[in-house]
Copies of this chain bind each other. A is one copy, B any other.
């Protein structure tokens, strides 16, 4: 798209000023390069600065944001909630009540998903425990799934 308007490498220079390229940022944050770009695209990350050659460069603060996203994901937060969490994180005058409300909402969703999966687990275990699991075709699992006594 855009030709570099200086021909000498400038990534080295950026690095000396404390910047990282995308694969360094990836290693430091644990977020894949692919996802870093994606997070920028959906507005979760600010648009990264670029070298003249159009390479993204990241600073410490960007790395922290990526780590924040990474940890939020590992807690199961959706991207939308993470966007809100990041806004709250950057707002030094936030009321902690808002963060807590968001967290509690997510905790509730986790509980609902867990309960749902536990129901599935119980129902299926129940069907499976009576299945002999041999070479014969009789199968309480299939009967349980197909018959209407559900």
Contact = CB atoms under 8 A, between A and B. Distances in A.
A127 interface: yes
Main secondary structure of the interface of A (DSSP, over half): helix
Interface string A60-96: 0000100110011011100000000100110111111
A30 B73 CA distance: 34
A83 to B, nearest CB: 13
A interface, size bucket: 35 or more
Interface pairs A-B: 8 shortest CB-CB: A100-B133, A96-B139, A76-B120, A95-B135, A97-B133, A110-B121, A103-B128, A100-B131
Given A96-B137, A97-B134, 7 more contacts: A96-B136, A96-B138, A96-B141, A100-B139, A110-B117, A111-B121, A114-B121
